Amino acid sequence: MRFLLLLSALFLAVSLPAQDFFEKSDFFFAENVSNNKVDYKKLVANSAGLDELIDQIKKQDLTALAESDKKAFLINSYNLLVINQVIENWPTKSVMEIGGFFESNKVVIGGKKMTLNDLENKEIRTVYNDPRVHFVLVCGANGCPPIINKAYLPATLNAQLDLQTKIAMNNPNFIQVNEDGDVKISEIFNWYKEDFLAKGNIIEYINSYRDIPISVEQKPRYYPYDWSINVRSIISGASSKAVQSFDPEDPKSESAAVNLQTYTAGSLLKKNQADFTIFNSIYTESENNWQGQDYSGYRTTFASSLIQFTYGVTKSARINLGLDISLKGSGKANNDESYNQIGRAFDFRNDDSTRVGVSYIAPKIKIQPFKNVADFTLQSSFNIVLPKHPEGYSNPDGSGTGNLLWIEWDRHVWWTQFFYTKMMFDDKFQVFAELDLLFRFKSSTSQITHFDLPASVFLSYFPTKKITTYGMIQHVPRFLYDTKEPQINDWLIRSNYTQYGAGLKYQLKPSINIELLYTNFFRAQNGGLGETFNLGIKYVLF
């Protein structure tokens, strides 16, 4: 009898704290969640109830819980820990702005440190092998299945999992079917594809919960995940509106996984997203300053197409890899400075007055170095110069023939760019700053190592949701090393120049924009005084 009493006391000692956790969690969600949104602002003002639940999560002995209790405990814990981390980093527009949110920031569950990814993938997914958990684990984003205003309880967990999965599969915003039967589904089915294949394929899994089945012949596409924060509207009684169907040509049907309007050279892509950009540029000059003298009466033009590919490799959007390919053509008219001589850059010959070729390829990496500073990123690339004699030459054999025009630097080029972005005035303006370290290392003893230090500032204004206008200014000083005399074969000297410009972007589709830019080199020391005409096209594959 004494043994039974002792056993009962031990059972109550571990079950009562767990029961208290479920009761307090149920009260917490009822108080702070409505219309599938979280009142983060209210919680920032008073987080005492949340703090108490987080403390219970830290101290709960998981080994003492029955499996059904543990499963419900871990699901609620995940949702509470997401909310807590958002509160700790408030204000924020997206959990993706919080460095390391899922993959490196540590939380404590039952005395054990882990990340949110560890909690989801190691403690829930692989243990319970239940695809329904994907529709109750809420990652703090509008793209997630909706958060409910109650806790998941052991006694009702199975019914709650079924209900939330059924709601998700019949939600026209989550499973989007247009009038032609085309289907778009959440990236959740892509990220965790293997979890949904027990019934044969993903469509069959979806149909097992749908009121109106989808044709199994359909090959669904994935719409972009909406990582914007699932914050409760400041308007009392506001509710989220489900989209009844999607139109591939309607920007509203594409969620804001990547906002091309605010997209900059420093923006990072999430895992499996890709950015294809072609930036065409014509630089043309008819005068320059060289060692204190001004020269004019000619026109030299460089036409280039920079093809850029960037790919996201981490779910947290902190690491991107990519490749740049530069195509160039150059042309010079010695005695004519008229604009019609710009066409010399498109003669596609290699001689003393025109040049063409693939000038370099450059593998690159772009990262967010500080996990808590999402607005600061850096990119580093290494240019592999391809043409033979890229800087050209003059009478190489002394015969008076065989001159070749310049197309690219004949150097090993290491280019590191630092980017910072700041939104202002209710997101109607954006400041984008860039500082570069562009090293060109000599490749022969007759050359001089030098580096440029470009500094640029762009100010953008967003008059509509499709149009971006901006102004820019850039200053570029050039520094030299290894200047021992005599440098008989290298003509480089210290120089600097400054340019300003104005540009326009227009978003043709949610994944495509077009950009026009004009710049003017209004001052230079030992450099050209020219202008550029630029046309860029960007396509982001979600």
Strand partners, 379: 366, 417
Instruction: Report the length, in residues, of the chain.
Output: 542
| pLDDT number for residue 2 | 54
Residue 85's contacts (CB-CB under 8 Å, 6 or more residues apart) are: 95, 98, 101, 105, 107, 116, 140
d(CA 405, CA 387): 12
Q: Quote the Cα angle for 181-187-188, to 5°.
A: 110
Task: Count CB neighbours of 490 within 10 A.
Answer: 18
| pLDDT number for residue 338 | 92
Rounded to 5 degrees, what are φ and ψ at 428? -85, -20
Q: Quote the Cα angle for 282-284-288, to 5°.
A: 150
C-beta separation of 279 from 303 below 8 A: no
> Of 314, 322, 283, whose CA–CA distance to 415 is shortest?
322
Max intra-chain CA distance, the chain: 114
3-class state of residue 360 by DSSP: strand
CA distances to 56, 169, 301, 334, 353 from 281, in Å: 60, 48, 10, 22, 19
| pLDDT number for residue 100 | 81
C-beta separation of 275 from 532 below 8 A: no
Rounded to 5 degrees, what are φ and ψ at 61? -80, 105
C-beta separation of 331 from 286 below 8 A: no
Pairing mode, strands 376-385 and 354-367: antiparallel
d(CA 474, CA 456): 4
| pLDDT number for residue 386 | 94
d(CA 57, CA 440): 55
d(CA 385, CA 363): 12
C-beta separation of 275 from 538 below 8 A: yes
DSSP string, 262-312: T--TT--PPTT-EEEEEEEEEEEEEEEEETTEEEEEEEEEEEEEEEEEEEE
pLDDT tens, residue order, the chain (542 aa)? 454 444 444 444 445 567 889 999 999 999 999 989 999 999 999 999 999 999 999 999 998 898 889 999 999 999 999 999 999 988 888 888 887 888 888 899 999 999 999 999 999 999 999 999 999 999 999 999 999 999 999 999 999 999 999 999 999 989 998 877 788 999 999 889 889 987 678 999 999 999 999 988 878 888 888 899 999 864 333 333 333 333 333 333 333 346 777 889 999 988 888 999 999 999 999 998 888 888 899 999 999 999 999 999 987 788 999 999 999 999 999 889 999 999 998 998 888 889 999 999 999 999 999 877 878 999 999 999 999 889 888 765 545 456 888 899 988 899 999 999 998 887 789 999 999 999 999 888 878 888 999 999 999 999 987 899 999 999 999 988 776 665 556 777 889 999 999 999 998 887 899 999 999 999 999 889 999 999 999 998 86
d(CA 206, CA 196): 9
C-beta separation of 226 from 141 below 8 A: yes
Tell me which H or E stretch contains 537.
Answer: strand 527-541
Domain boundaries, the chain: 14-207, 274-541
Q: For the domain 274-541, what is the CATH code? A: 2.40.128.130
For tokens 């170095």, the residue is 369
* Bond prior to 387 in cis (omega within 30° of 0): no
| The one-letter amino acid at 484 | K
Sheet holding 183-185, edge to edge: 175-177, 183-185, 221-222
Task: Count CB neighbours of 369 within 10 A.
Answer: 11
Task: Count CB neighbours of 219 within 10 A.
Answer: 9
Question: Which 8-state DSSP code applies to residue 474?
Answer: E
d(CA 98, CA 85): 9
523, exposed or middle or buried, with CB in 10 Å at 0-12, 13-18, 19+?
middle
For tokens 């500080």, the residue is 370
